[in-house]
Structure 1
Amino acid sequence: MGNGRYIDRMEISSAELRHFDHLMASFNLTRSNPSTFILMGIPGLEAAHILISIPFSVFYIISLLGNSMVLFVGKEQPLHKPMYLLLCMLALTDIGTSTSVVPKALRIFWFNLKGITVSACLTQMFFLHTASVMHSAILVTMAFDRYVAICNPLSYATILTNARIAKLGLVGLMRAVLFILPMPLLVSRLPFCANHIVPHTHCDHMAVAKMSCGDITVNRIYGLVIAFVVIGSDLMLITLSYGLIIRAVLRISSKKAHQKALNTCTAHICVILTSYTPSLFSFVTHRFGQHIAPHIHIILANLYFLVPPLLNPIIYGVKTKELRDKVGKYTCTM
């Protein structure tokens, strides 16, 4: 009897072990290969992945076409002005941001290809967060551009030269790299025991860190530092610029001048709203919305990589006459 019970336990253990190996194989992951993560897409909405892929792919294609058009038109010599150089920088970061996330998400939705090596995951994490911080730096530079154009128009050409804009862009890129580089390095030092399944469409810093069986306090603190020091300071500089702009506009007696001054800022304000609103909502719900369903967190996080790259070229194409005219000229000759 005792031997029978022992054999039964052995058979159950063997069956459980075979079942575990089958699950690991279905995720293309083995116990001896801990160098692979599994991106689950949008947990809870797996049955709707094909439907969800439709707006993902449509938004991505339109954003690629729109931002590529901005870059193509921006090479025109008459448009070689500081504002158009900034638009080209914004288009590049928009392409980089969406391309670092959407193709992998579509592979998950369409082909159920969920595996990603740790090195590829860390690389994706670095590029998507670097592009996000660079995007924020460009918006700050655009706010400064609007401030100089309205508050000191006579010195605009001497203050904001093409060379100075290029230097500001380089500084923004260096800042993004220096602030974001520690993120993948911190994650690479974390121990991942048995759980390599990331409930997300991409390798977000905190989504991956939470899968660790070690202490992620440093990761949490550094994520908050990036949010408050980098993004917070950028928002403060943008607010300061527009505070000075509003003060200068209020000193103008002509209503027509008021309207003209404010029209020059409309496109930039719209881009700020479309860029920061999804990221702030995602940050707040991720940190403080413990009772919100996980798929809501993930959808909000993905909106940041879908909506701004889609809307930014449309906003500037509608509001900027020179850009609109050049796009119209090229589309008519095609």
Structure 2
Amino acid sequence: MASPSNYSTAPVSEFLLICFPNYQSWQHWLSLPLSLLFLLAMGANATLLITIRLEASLHEPMYYLLSLLSLLDMVLCLTVIPKVLAIFWFDLRSISFSACFLQIFTACFLQMFIMNSFLTMESCTFMVMAYDRYVAICHPLRYPSIITDQFVVRAAIFVVARNGLLTMPIPVLSSRLRYCAENIIKNCICTNLSVSKLSCDDITFNQLYQFVAGWTLLGSDLILIVLSYSFILKAVLRIKAEGAMTKALGTCGSHFILILFFSTVLLVLVITNLARKKIPPDVPILLNILHHLIPPALNPIVYGVRTKEIKQGIQKLLRRL
């Protein structure tokens, strides 16, 4: 490793990721549950995607949206976890400064872009799914004419375009900073704040843009999700037919559980970052990794267990093997 004097005289060409700086002795033990969760997330989402692809009865807008969510989960896992495991197992801590598409597991700013954009894409997908459930329960007769295959295509384009364009400046701003000092990132992944604070330049605008963009995207999605479920709850309370309320709530129960997984882990991560002076610095690092693992691992399982059509589709798929 270069000496501190070299950092000050030469520009940074790569970063070094130092996972859990205070607890490096037990990183190998942590790699076991992380690798198992990674295999579970990839396997469960791949199974769900194959099931929806092969089962004709699942070729409906709701399941297409679920497929989009699974794809986003898989890309997030592949962007973050293999590099973390490579650090734990092989001590491959270096990650390149410059980004190109083929360096997806080594390019720092490409990893930063995917993490920021795909995280907000997931949130936006949850919002679209909440709207789908709102139309299904509050306007059931109009559902086939509103939630169509064309609607799903337009929604997917909106999800990708909105979040990709608005989060693109975050890694761009970070990559344009001058890195002429220490190149050690005290994190397992290239988060914007972990990287930009190593810069010699003023990062106020960088931090401000991430704060505004993040809370605007995630906050607007959350508001629309809450509004959708408020209308759903209001409509459900009006239903007087026996068993109709239970059936109506059952149609959005799985989606609501997924939102809780996503928002709870994210909320805990935000709180721990705000209170970082009162907790060990390794806790937010671990929570950041788990946020890229726990929802992707649990999302397809929840839908597979709670949705009869998906469960039957998976059983048919297993019988074919």
CA distance in structure 2 between the partners assigned to 1:163 and 1:205 by the alignment: 36
- 1:111 aligns to 2:66 (yes or no): no
Contact 1:39 1:202 in 2 (8 A): yes
Q: Match of 2:36, SS? A: helix
Q: Do the aligned partners of 1:97 and 1:128 also contact (CA within 8 Å) in 2? A: yes
Residue 311 (str. 1) matches residue 289 (str. 2): no
1:270 CA displacement: 0.7
Residue 32 of structure 2 is aligned to residue 58 of structure 1: no
Q: Aligned to 2:240, which of 239, 242, 253?
A: 253
Distance 1:31 1:53, change over 3 A: farther
Q: Residue in 2 aligned with 1:208?
A: 195
1:145: which partner in 2?
132
Q: Is the 8 A contact 2:11 2:179 kept in 1?
A: no
The normalised TM-score by structure 2 is 0.93
Give the length in aligned residue pairs. 309
Q: Which residue of 2 aligns with 1:332?
A: 319
Partner of 2:81: 102
- The CA deviation string for residues 225-245 of structure 1, in whole angstroms up to 9 with x for no partner, is 123211011000000000000
Residue in structure 2 matched with residue 79 of structure 1 by the alignment: 58
Percent identity over paired residues: 39
Give the residue type in structure 2 aligned to 1:263. Answer: G
Alignment-derived partner of residue 268 in structure 2:
281
Equivalent positions of 1:127-276 (< 5 A) are: 127-276=114-263
AA at the equivalent of 1:261: A
1:41 deviation in Å? 1.6
Contact 1:271 1:308 in 2 (8 A): yes
What does the per-residue CA deviation read over 1:122-154, in whole Å, with 9 as the maximum and x for residues that have no partner? 011111211111111110010000000100111
Partner secondary structure for residue 231 of structure 1: helix
SS at match of 1:116: strand
C-alpha distance in structure 2 between counterparts of 1:117 and 1:126, whole Å:
14
What whole-Å deviation, never above 9, does each CA across 1:152-196 have from its counterpart, x for those lacking one? 111111000011111111111001111110011110122222211
Cα separation, 2, equivalents of 1:191 and 1:255: 66
- The secondary structure found in structure 1 opposite 2:201 is coil
Q: What's the counterpart of residue 102 of structure 2?
A: none
The one-letter amino acid paired with 1:125 is: M
Following superposition, the deviation at residue 333 of structure 1 comes to 2.9
Gaps of 5+ in 2: 99-106
Residues in 1 aligned to 2:289 and 2:141: alpha-carbon distance in whole angstroms: 42
Q: Does 1:39 align with 2:17?
A: yes
Question: Which residue number in structure 1 is paired with residue 71 of structure 2?
Answer: 92
Residue ranges of structure 1 left out of the alignment (5+ in a row)? 1-22
CA RMSD of aligned residues (A): 1.5
User: Which 4+ stretches in 1 moved above 6 angstroms?
Assistant: none
| Matched AA of 2:168 | L
Give distance in 2, aligned partners of 1:226 and 1:52: 33
CA shift, 1:32, in A, is: 4.3
Q: Alpha-carbon deviations, 1:24-43, whole Å to 9, x = none?
A: 28xxx996461100011222
Cα displacement string for residues 95-134 of structure 1 (whole angstroms, at most 9, x for unaligned residues): 0111110000000000001001112100111112111111
Paired residue for 1:8?
A: none
Amino acid at match of 1:36: E
Counterpart AA for 1:257: A
Deviations 1:251-280 (A, max 9, x none): 111341111111111100110011111112
Greater displacement, 312-321 / 35-44: 35-44
Q: Over residues 47-81 of structure 1, what are the superposed CA-to-partner deviations in whole Å (9 max), with x where a residue is unaligned?
A: 11111111111011111111001111111322110
Q: Cα gap change, 1:84/1:126 in structure 2, threshold over 3 Å: closer, same or farther?
A: same
DSSP-derived class of the 2:293 partner: helix
The answer on whether the counterparts of 2:181 and 2:198 sit within 8 Å (CA) in structure 1 is no
How far is the alpha carbon of 1:297 from its aligned partner?
0.8
Q: Which amino acid aligns with 1:141?
A: V
Q: Looking at both structures, which has the greater relative contact order when contacts are Cα pairs under 8 Å and sequence separation is at least 6? A: 2
| Partner Cα distance (1:168, 1:38) in 2 | 38
Match of 2:95, SS?
A: strand
Q: State the shift of 1:289 in Å.
A: 3.1
